[in-house]
Chains A and B, each alone.
Chain A
């Protein structure tokens, strides 16, 4: 008798154990964009008179707040800083410390400029081109500061989570070149339908159902599940945890750490440099000065680059920028000493601390603010 029911009993036990695990562990949210920062590094997004001057994972509301602040401060010409996590993160953060965009905002207040910033973790040049286009069309940008991280030349594509402001405002790049079309095509795939009257929100997890009858039922059921079954809301966090586990497992098995040399991938570099060209072209058409710099890296220990590839990439960027008279270029990779850098949590199992090559301490931000201020006021 039991033998007959055994397959079903196994399944029921499987369901019960799964349910217990889900109920016990699916109960926390995490900021995965801060994963690579580690516990000793903190993100800092400055504001002025309670209006933000530095955005990251921003939606349209945040951008409108930034715009309101800019209006309140007198509609001054804007110096826009774009960047990645180096721009907003401070290693060994202590209360009262700020990052270089905040320092520059205060410093240039009296000079007739309003310094604003938008930085996204691992931001590649395609994303920064998209963001710069949006800002250029929305605010009177006069100077644009843009770091080119050799690391981020390996990144590709537009990430929905960091381009909410673009998606919510249905913005498209006015650029029919290959890179412009690629970016716009990606934006199309993100487009979120307007919120329905019955509060059914369709998100990007339902891409396959767009414009089908099922779309609404799925959104309705998801919302019901989210409202009545708490664990449903934490699925995204658990997905992130699972990928983090796999990432650490990969690093452990293949012995990858922050000092492992990263190869420049020619196709992705090309795509990102095309975005840089498009950005310079757009800036030139609006008479905006573009200040491109090679950002600081930790140089007292062996860096995660092949030296010849790193130098070749810098030369290539320099040559590319020569075509655009509105662009300026400076290599700042060795301006911050080793003592102003720090360590971070391990990105592999069974390891203690790892060098942080991307994020420096507060004094480093002061040094970079000094260098950039003199660069743009040359």
Chain B
């Protein structure tokens, strides 16, 4: 089911009402059925794939817990089963075509005529998200950080919980399961907070993201050879804002839906384009993914023992004290390459990941030099450099292929390419306007809102007026004309 649709709004109202009306024993079963309906409204046949992943981890986690810690071999074997099944599903549905195609390209380069057959497979929505969640659950049980869940109902709810099912935030079992099991009572705050987030999320999606989208599609459809440097900059900013509005919209709606049922799921964004360094960016962008990567990939690769996992903090958290620089750097590049590949089965995503890794590596080196010389870089200066560079990183994320990516990057480096433009002037107008609005919004949230809050009457009227405007805009623009971008990952 797609959030930006009337069907979903009807579904949500029904589920939330039943959730609070029904007795607790039935409530959870109702929620499990609702989760399946939510997913099945896209393609019911892929429910099976999700349950294969869930059931595998449910039983292997129980088996791991029942195996003495001394029997390392069996425990590792069980963990291997989990990884094999989940990553196997991911590889089959998401990467088989990519690997086959890449192998065929290699065979061609070596002059071998034989080609592997290419099979086009439909990617089940949310597979990258729920497989990561089920893997993290079993790994946490293996690490002894959490106990295995005995009741399949509770575990099934953790995997299928509809607000975060298709595009995150990626939830940890330790954070969600206790909330689902807990006996919660209705609070008015749940409804007001939840609705606020949903309305704001829908506004971001149906008004901003969906209306920037045609400009981005039109611009990226142009032959990259004919683009100028100004076009490339404009397109990277436009897509940067489109994906931010689109994905943060999904996260706002997900957080809001969960809140309506009194459940807290982690925040995924914190003004990422205000970041003053690449490391800072990854503490603000898709926080639940970067936290997952930190706990289950980056830290294990560096040989660091994980003693606590959380879906918050982002990837930079707590890594400063790591001693082995070489290991740290290898882990950095490997992690970001995998992070890129997680987003999509294409080399362009690997380039996107490595682009970030290069700048984080570079920042580390600069930081060392600056700390020796006692130089402090202001946040503003950092932001001035990082903001455009982060925006430019979206080029490989959106470009059709690797060659288009490099052509577009090369344009930015050619001074002569700054003399004209090849896309419509409106793209530049929207680009500047949206950037300006984003910065104004940040300023208001961090400086003006606290002043308004001190004046209750003014605060009341400002909020009422804001809600009225947002509701009218959402009412006018609510159409499922496009999916959320992160559905495809």
Contact = CB atoms under 8 A, between A and B. Distances in A.
A14 B7 contact: no
A301 interface: no
Interface in A121-149: none
A351 B472 CA distance: 29
B422 A267 contact: yes
A222 B5 CA distance: 10
A318 B466 CA distance: 56
A218 B5 contact: yes
B471 A14 contact: yes
A147 B215 CA distance: 27
Interface string A224-239: 0100000000010011
B475 interface: yes
Given A18-B468, A239-B476, A214 B7 contact: yes
Interface in B51-71: none
B464 A13 contact: yes
Given A206-B480, A207-B481, A208-B482, 14 more contacts: A7-B188, A8-B192, A11-B467, A14-B468, A17-B465, A18-B467, A18-B471, A154-B424, A208-B480, A208-B483, A213-B43, A214-B5, A222-B6, A266-B422
B429 interface: yes
Interface residues of A, number: 44
Interface string B460-489: 100111111111110111011111000000
A214 B483 contact: no
B481 A206 contact: yes
A217 interface: yes
A254 B429 contact: yes
A18 B475 contact: yes
A21 interface: yes
A265 B422 contact: yes
Contacts of B475: 18, 22, 235
Contacts of B218: 156-157
Contact of B6 (A4, A204, A218, A263): A218
Contact of A218 (B44, B473, B480): B480
Given A11-B467, A208-B483, A221 B423 contact: no
A10 B5 contact: no
A212 B41 contact: yes
A350 interface: no
A21 B468 contact: yes
A214 B41 contact: yes
B262 to A, nearest CB: 15
B41 A11 contact: no
A209 interface: yes
A198 interface: no
A333 interface: no
A32 interface: no
A188 interface: no
- State the majority secondary structure of interface residues on A: helix
Interface residues of B, number: 53
A250 interface: yes
A208 B6 CA distance: 13
A206 B479 contact: yes
A10 B188 contact: no
B397 to A, nearest CB: 20
A14 B473 CA distance: 12
> A7, A21, A205 — which one has the most chain B CB atoms within 10 A of its CB?
A7
A120 to B, nearest CB: 19
A14 B467 contact: yes
B5 A209 contact: yes
30 contacts: A4-B188, A8-B191, A10-B463, A10-B467, A11-B195, A14-B463, A14-B470, A15-B471, A17-B464, A18-B467, A21-B472, A22-B475, A156-B218, A157-B218, A182-B221, A208-B482, A213-B40, A214-B5, A214-B480, A217-B7, A218-B5, A218-B480, A221-B7, A239-B476, A242-B473, A250-B429, A266-B226, A267-B223, A267-B423, A268-B424
Contact of A267 (B2, B226, B426): B226
Contacts of A5: 188
Contacts of B222: 267
Given A11-B192, A213-B42, A265 B424 contact: yes
Contacts of A11: 192, 195-196, 467
A18 B472 contact: yes
A263 B422 CA distance: 10
Nearest to B38: A214
B189 interface: yes
A156 B426 CA distance: 13
B149 interface: no
Interface string A305-340: 000000000000000000000000000000000000
A239 B464 contact: no
Nearest to A222: B6
A257 B144 CA distance: 69
Contacts of B422: 265-268
A214 B42 contact: yes
Contacts of B223: 267
A49 to B, nearest CB: 41
Given A157-B218, A222-B6, A265 B423 contact: yes
B420 to A, nearest CB: 8
Contacts of A238: 476
Contacts of A242: 473, 476
A3 B202 CA distance: 27
A6 interface: yes
A266 B482 CA distance: 29
Contacts of A21: 468, 472
A359 B466 CA distance: 42
Q: Which residue, of A4, A11, A250, has the highest number of chain B Cβ atoms within 10 A?
A: A11
B467 A15 contact: yes
Interface string A1-39: 000111110110111011001100000000000000000
A148 to B, nearest CB: 19
Interface string B191-232: 111011000000000000000000000100111001100000
B10 interface: yes
Given A6-B460, A214-B41, A205 B481 contact: yes
A348 B201 CA distance: 32
Contacts of A156: 218, 424
